[in-house]
Amino acid sequence: MEIKELAIIAKRELEELTGFTSPNVIGIGRREDIWCITIEILEKPSEAANLEILGVYEVKLDTSGGFLGFERTKMRKRGDIHG
């Protein structure tokens, strides 16, 4: 399975499970037989962009694209380079 297809699957699964929209893949890697896709997604919109809250999630897929699970690894304000 191609990396682009894995990214699409991971984004779709995260949207369905969390209800948040517009996920962006910010990283992808493989650990043994598990693909780990890091996705950033807007969790709390705000009129002031610097007050928006973004969640960073790790979605895990098997080598054939089967969903294994996800975890929010951190949250940050948009523009926060330390978060």
Q: What is the CATH number of the domain that holds 60?
A: 3.10.450.630
Total number of domains in the chain:
1
pTM: 0.88
4-8, 11-15, 34-38, 75-79: which has the minimum mean pLDDT?
75-79
Sheet holding 67-77, edge to edge: 24-31, 34-44, 53-62, 67-77
Beta strands in the chain (DSSP E): 24-31, 34-44, 53-62, 67-77
> Is residue 29 one of the residues assigned to a domain?
yes
The answer to the question of residue 82 being in a domain is no
- Name the band, by pLDDT with cuts 50, 70 and 90, for residue 16: very high
